[in-house]
Structure 1
């Protein structure tokens, strides 16, 4: 789910406020849906079904259109069978006339309810959909997930295209719907082509219907679509190609009328489709062309006449760069946080913000060090958004969360057949997906030693080879790493490579622990509480006593723990004011029991026991205070080396002693 769009939808439903990032057309549709009284939480089947007599009349009125469109709908479902696609034909009143389904038993309840003859998709009944938007704009429309007005469509995507009659008036709507997780990347392109073909059939019902006649009429759509398109007949002769296709393949219009092998210097995959009469969807190809390697994703659709005989093939392709950009947007692989999202005014946070700006202006590798929960990924995203790569992808990989035997394939990708369970067409790795952007290695201290050496080689050579492959690919990626471990100690223990450490630690940024951020806790509490109030339309406030307890807590879990505590207290407070008893039990009880232990100034756990980390902080503070900050005497008193004491002071953020 896109968390940002979910927040925008919930904010509108709760407050009626429209986020500025929402498109103008969708915003207007949401407002109109609300004014029409559409229930955003429940679709009522009975209220949205037209009368039997009305459906019967519409079926009779659109009989000719249905005869033309039905074979196209069937072909679309067959070609997109693995994506569980449902195709619908609707009249101008947005009443469903015909439904074609790939897998009826696998459809979600929402699609089973709404994709049936007689169901009405008008905006006044079920709110914003691609179908209702298409009827308004007369253009191809795509609505996904939380862009829908009704909650029941939030797991669904929908693409709709208009079909025109001989007078260039919209006579029906063709829609394709499916589960959001199975979303087809180029369905809008395929449906647009289908719409043109259907419209042409309507206009030319009594005229020649061969492919070459239709292909000549596709010029307008060919010239405006960003995907590359090329058609060939059964002899492999090119019958049409659009400008995007010519640019990707490095050819010109003179290729039309020639065999495809005369225009490209690699074995055309489309000839295999002509031979075996089977198309494919979103298959990756990397072929050596005139201008180097051509890397793209292709869809091949066999074209048939009205009798079902194959008469040629449509080849739709786009550059891998376009595909990766689209995938990154759909999967949320973009940095959403900036410096403005880092809340705090203390000296350590101001210094962190300064370092973020410095790192953003450069393209060097960055190492972010700090305890868990201090917001290291937010810092990484802010660096990305402050630099020249801000329009590129931001890919994050947690080195501690990926199984050891999968981390190499996750990073470098693999070719088809590389190992048992590999995807048919292979899979790009995180480095490829991050090309032109930033790759963030979270918890890099947990990366296995053997992978550290492979990562170092890729960083040095700026190229990689997929698992099971042999072609070397250049990569352009900015590296940011983060860890909560002491890499210096790990190097001494031979559990982290020293050469990799120096490779990633060009710019070093420390993410300070919350207990050392004087004055920032109140700012963070207010910020978090405002956010919960905005989302839920409430006006809760925190009492002085509750705030005092939160101020005194040492926050071993840092900002993440504070966020959890504020959300818990918000939920527990049934009235407007958040009181001490609404705080998490571990904090409320520990602070109450800790009144007799004020000299430690630390929260207690489990019957008065403190953590080892807290005991170490207490010991260091007391030793330094006892010897008036003398590092040599303090290290002897603690039984550790002077260098080790410096490292520990730096790690826990004792600024007053770190610059002795």
Structure 2
């Protein structure tokens, strides 16, 4: 076995190290930053059915297979502990970590923590029930939806799901863009459930729903006595809670400008400081953001940092608005069955007239508005979309001003109806509409709102 230049030393030291690595019972392999194998021990060679010279100098994916992440780790993209890997029919539980020298990544090492599942089972059987009780406790923060929950057919939806799969394969920042009600949070949940961080927490925070004076403490946590009303023992923030998993920052465009610089530092340095604290805290997480705003427009007017925008917008995902989809009747049927089951009601059938209404309406509130309309249909027996709110043909992507006026009118009508049903209670009205209270307040403040 040839040792790479990482293990510089005397010939006697190198010989001893080769002997040690070959006597390690578990498989070990190392690659350089290009993913080329520079070190492999005897147990791994036996599993692969060859000699070290058969594998040295070859790319790791050519030898182990495309499922390995070691070549990504060697470029500084993630660390994988407890990663399942099947090699030549053998199931391994591996640890894949980068190798640093002088603060720079020069490669990565993959080590089989368990050479087969039988070894894992034997180790598991030796652990007492009391010791196993802690990791078995339910996690407070976890994703609740998967890719299977994203309903839809056709090329547009297939491309959308493919974009989520691609983003989930990399430990890089993701920007989810889409209109209100289109399903951005659903995409974030599905992404976490697909990623290598799925065993870690999925922590979410809505940047628009927290008062600007509290959002820093909410994200970064605080030390005891940091401000009036603070807990004496302090409190961890969302960044600390998300360590090992994913932090979902919804409505990132509403993050206060003063806080954006702190977020940029977290992304650059992988560390943060609690409010009122003095010592940095190291964190290991992935960032997923969502916005219904045109962030570049906010950059132009000075409301969003350009450097933060480029740092976050590494892997963009665009959630298709409902009016661009050609599978609305199919989606409606699936949602009807789901909602009816939740309400313990029979599932109504869509008539041809209902289908025409669904296709012709512009759906400014997207899937969330569709769910509300179908819920009312299950309860009342009628799909309540009046003819004056529906265009004769499906709405085009580039809507004309009259369509915008219809959308505004429909929104006002929905708000008035909800407020009437709840006798002016805005919190309950927002819940009935399927939107946040903050979103309802913004709609009421918009010019022309009635």
TM-score interval (norm. to shorter) = 0.5 to 0.7
Structure 2 Cα separation of the partners of residues 342 and 531 of structure 1: 13
Corresponding position of 2:380: 572
1:471, distance to aligned residue in structure 2 (A): 2.3
Q: After the TM superposition, which residues 147-166 of structure 1 pair with which residues of structure 2 at under 5 Å, given as runs?
A: none
1:529 aligned to which of 332, 336, 343: 336
Q: Deviations over 1:320-362 (max 9, x none)?
A: xx6xx95x724xx211211111111122211111111111110
Corresponding position of 1:361: 169
The answer to whether the 8 Å contact 2:360/2:394 transfers is no
SS at match of 1:481: strand
| Counterpart check, 1:545 vs 2:353 | yes
2:404 aligned to which of 599, 603, 611: 611
Structure 2 Cα separation of the partners of residues 356 and 431 of structure 1: 23
Corresponding position of 1:329: 139
Corresponding position of 1:588: 386
Relative to structure 1, is the Cα distance of residues 600 and 475 closer, same or farther in structure 2, using a 3 angstrom cutoff? closer
| Counterpart check, 1:455 vs 2:263 | yes
Corresponding position of 2:250: 442
Relative to structure 1, is the Cα distance of residues 463 and 547 closer, same or farther in structure 2, using a 3 angstrom cutoff? same
Structure 2 Cα separation of the partners of residues 601 and 532 of structure 1: 26
In the superposition, the TM-score normalised over structure 2's length comes to 0.58
Structure 2 Cα separation of the partners of residues 458 and 471 of structure 1: 14
Structure 2 Cα separation of the partners of residues 336 and 446 of structure 1: 25
Q: After the TM superposition, which residues 234-313 of structure 1 pair with which residues of structure 2 at under 5 Å, given as runs?
A: none
Relative to structure 1, is the Cα distance of residues 355 and 424 closer, same or farther in structure 2, using a 3 angstrom cutoff? same
Q: After the TM superposition, which residues 186-197 of structure 1 pair with which residues of structure 2 at under 5 Å, given as runs?
A: none
Corresponding position of 2:286: 478
Q: After the TM superposition, which residues 49-128 of structure 1 pair with which residues of structure 2 at under 5 Å, given as runs?
A: none
- Structure having the higher Rg: 1
| Counterpart check, 1:226 vs 2:26 | no
Corresponding position of 1:215: none
Q: How many residues align?
A: 277
| Counterpart check, 1:383 vs 2:288 | no
Gaps of 5+ in 1: 1-221, 228-243, 245-317, 574-581, 603-607, 616-660
Relative to structure 1, is the Cα distance of residues 410 and 601 closer, same or farther in structure 2, using a 3 angstrom cutoff? closer
Corresponding position of 1:192: none
Corresponding position of 1:289: none
Structure 2 Cα separation of the partners of residues 515 and 358 of structure 1: 25
SS at match of 1:541: coil
Structure 2 Cα separation of the partners of residues 394 and 600 of structure 1: 37
Q: After the TM superposition, which residues 180-191 of structure 1 pair with which residues of structure 2 at under 5 Å, given as runs?
A: none
1:430, distance to aligned residue in structure 2 (A): 0.2
Q: Deviations over 1:428-483 (max 9, x none)?
A: 10001101000011110111111111110111110111111222211001001111
Relative to structure 1, is the Cα distance of residues 599 and 413 closer, same or farther in structure 2, using a 3 angstrom cutoff? closer
Structure 2 Cα separation of the partners of residues 599 and 509 of structure 1: 28
Relative to structure 1, is the Cα distance of residues 356 and 409 closer, same or farther in structure 2, using a 3 angstrom cutoff? same
Gaps of 5+ in 2: 1-126, 409-450
Q: Which has the higher contact order (CA 8 A, sep 6+)?
A: 2
Relative to structure 1, is the Cα distance of residues 477 and 224 closer, same or farther in structure 2, using a 3 angstrom cutoff? same
Q: Deviations over 1:34-60 (max 9, x none)?
A: xxxxxxxxxxxxxxxxxxxxxxxxxxx
Relative to structure 1, is the Cα distance of residues 404 and 540 closer, same or farther in structure 2, using a 3 angstrom cutoff? same
| TM-align CA RMSD | 2.6
Q: Deviations over 1:103-157 (max 9, x none)?
A: xxxxxxxxxxxxxxxxxxxxxxxxxxxxxxxxxxxxxxxxxxxxxxxxxxxxxxx
Structure 1 Cα separation of the partners of residues 242 and 394 of structure 2: 47
Structure 2 Cα separation of the partners of residues 568 and 614 of structure 1: 19
The answer to whether the 8 Å contact 2:174/2:288 transfers is yes
Task: Give every structure 1 segment of 4 or more consecutive aligned residues whose post-TM-superposition deviation is greater than 6 Å.
Answer: none
